[in-house]
Chains A and B, each alone.
Chain A
């Protein structure tokens, strides 16, 4: 019964998301696009954080390299968007494999610090390597060509691009969800709850942590790739450590214990940011207050607290 209601709510949400460009003011199409992209970014981060139990503070590196990859391919080679995004995914995975290889051997705060340190290095490279990245100006001035697969779309139209992003985010999320519910996903959750017991079951937990980190990097790269046509620029700020904090905050806001938590967190984060910055400069103050209250009283996040309560109810 309850699972039927949940499924119904999910289907309704997807229908509303599809209908969104026709029912909301023009400005909110951009907000919707950002929520979807950041939601996928946060969900990819939560595979590592909420499922495997590793707090990565360098995820902006994978997100950012995805943005750069798509922006550069659009600028220099005018590839179809879908091909660019696949490269973004690959670049995110590759960078995560390298950084993960060096980081997953450490636990907890040391892992967080090491990923933060690597994230800062990647940011610096993007910032300083002017001949490739164009420094702080970033990669801009590219045009949007074809989508790929022979599908004819006007990607420059915000409503069309919103639907493209929605479709990609849904497909990517389904894949990510399947991974979370697989035997591999079960092992990741076991590692979060008791890593030692897992290694005494005969599994090399470093390998599983690295695999989770790499998969996460791939989806973060994909999310980053979709940012390039949206923002029309790839700049080093996207790799700044403060960008790494966003999926952390979104996951905690929405709830790390449920797959859809980070998406809810993304919606909350982006909407609050939009509304609060329109009336006051003190966005960070309000974010801080909301976050402090969440951590003190609703540690399971908005979606997590609600679902825990509702699923417990007879």
Chain B
């Protein structure tokens, strides 16, 4: 058996008397896609924040490829091959779409320390940016200002920025939230193809059960900060605790509209 890429032990976050995440244990294997589901307030984003270094855990440890990364700063964790997106679009609105990706590429390749090159004259970074944008099917937008492109395209752009630093572990926070059904299909297909490429391990939080069942190898169900169940799609679907607490009385409600509204 291979070693897990991410090994999380007893991860806990308390805000004053309020426990947002409580004693999560999780092992994520290389190249798998693990979906994290749970109603709003279940602690999914707080969990991400601790794994990506945005928040310090109150208790517990996070190991990446056997290295303890608990409480490291975001830029250090990013350097170790973890990249994440945010629930709210997190891009550089005044830059062009291509420049957005160039920022991440310059950071990754170390050009960011160059004071006297011409950023707009860096062929290598430009070509790589165009390639990535084409892969995400937003290549034709490359010279548009990022702040004015459509919401769905912004989400795709953020995924391009996330992938630019060549991460091993990618944390996506509700990648299809607020998208039209057409955009959702586009993003799902894209993540599917990225996952199939075998280059990435994905953690995905998502409310749309259609997307979850389509993409996930395994699912972690969170409920009030706790891990309610972990397992394959079938295992989780048939888990009595999950049925009771999350999927609700109506088992046919697979598109998750109800949960999304909670």
- Taking Cβ atoms with an 8 Å cutoff, the residues of A that contact B are 178-179, 181-187, 189-190, 193-194, 196-205, 208, 215
CB distance from A218 to the nearest CB of B (A): 12
- Taking Cβ atoms with an 8 Å cutoff, the residues of B that contact A are 52, 54, 73-75, 78-79, 83-84, 90-95, 99, 102-104, 106-108, 111-120, 122, 125, 161, 164-165
**CB within 8 A of A201: which of B95, B104, B111, B122?**
B104
* Contact (Cβ within 8 A) A184 B112: yes
Q: Which residues of B contact A208 (CB under 8 A)?
A: 112
Whether A199 touches B112, Cβ cut-off 8 Å, given contacts A182-B117, A182-B119, A193-B94, is no
Q: Which residue of A lies closest to B118 (CB)?
A: A181
Ranked nearest first, the 8 interchain pairs of A and B with the lowest CB-CB distance are: A202-B78, A183-B111, A201-B107, A186-B119, A190-B103, A193-B92, A201-B104, A183-B106
Q: How far is the CA of A24 from the CA of B191 in the complex (A)?
A: 67
CB distance from A189 to the nearest CB of B (A): 7
Q: How far is the CA of A187 from the CA of B119 in the complex (A)?
A: 10
* Contact (Cβ within 8 A) B161 A202: no
* Contact (Cβ within 8 A) B79 A179: no
* Contact (Cβ within 8 A) B165 A187: no
* Contact (Cβ within 8 A) A181 B119: yes
CB distance from A188 to the nearest CB of B (A): 10
**CB within 8 A of A194: which of B73, B74, B91?**
B91
CB distance from B88 to the nearest CB of A (A): 11
CB distance from B37 to the nearest CB of A (A): 23
Q: Which residue of A lies closest to B106 (CB)?
A: A183
Q: Is the interface of A mostly helix, strand, loop or mixed?
A: helix
Q: How far is the CA of A88 from the CA of B106 in the complex (A)?
A: 32
CB distance from B58 to the nearest CB of A (A): 22
Q: Which residues of B contact A189 (CB under 8 A)?
A: 92, 94-95
* Contact (Cβ within 8 A) B91 A197: yes
Q: Which residues of B contact A196 (CB under 8 A)?
A: 54, 74, 90
Whether A179 touches B103, Cβ cut-off 8 Å, given contacts A197-B90, A200-B78, is no
Q: Which residues of A contact B118 (CB under 8 A)?
A: 178, 181-182
Please, could you name 11 A-B residue pairs with CB atoms under 8 Å apart, sorted by A?
A: A178-B116, A182-B116, A182-B117, A184-B114, A190-B95, A190-B103, A201-B75, A201-B107, A203-B107, A205-B75, A208-B112
Q: How far is the CA of A189 from the CA of B146 in the complex (A)?
A: 14
**CB within 8 A of B165: which of A184, A185, A201, A205?**
A201
Q: How far is the CA of A127 from the CA of B69 in the complex (A)?
A: 49
7 more contacts with CB within 8 A, not counting A183-B122, A189-B94, are A182-B118, A186-B99, A190-B103, A201-B78, A204-B73, A204-B75, A208-B112
* Contact (Cβ within 8 A) B92 A200: no
**CB within 8 A of B84: which of A183, A193, A200, A204?**
A200
Q: Which residues of B contact A178 (CB under 8 A)?
A: 115-116, 118
* Contact (Cβ within 8 A) B75 A202: yes
* Contact (Cβ within 8 A) B99 A199: no
Q: Which residue of B lies closest to A194 (CB)?
A: B92
**CB within 8 A of B92: which of A181, A182, A197, A203?**
A197
* Contact (Cβ within 8 A) A199 B74: yes
CB distance from A25 to the nearest CB of B (A): 40
Q: How far is the CA of A202 from the CA of B91 in the complex (A)?
A: 15
Q: How far is the CA of A198 from the CA of B79 in the complex (A)?
A: 12
**CB within 8 A of A200: which of B83, B99, B113?**
B83
* Contact (Cβ within 8 A) B92 A190: yes
Q: Which residues of B contact A185 (CB under 8 A)?
A: 115, 119
Q: How far is the CA of A286 from the CA of B58 in the complex (A)?
A: 55
* Contact (Cβ within 8 A) A184 B113: yes
Q: Which residues of A contact B52 (CB under 8 A)?
A: 200
Q: How far is the CA of A186 from the CA of B114 in the complex (A)?
A: 10
* Contact (Cβ within 8 A) A201 B114: no
* Contact (Cβ within 8 A) A183 B78: no
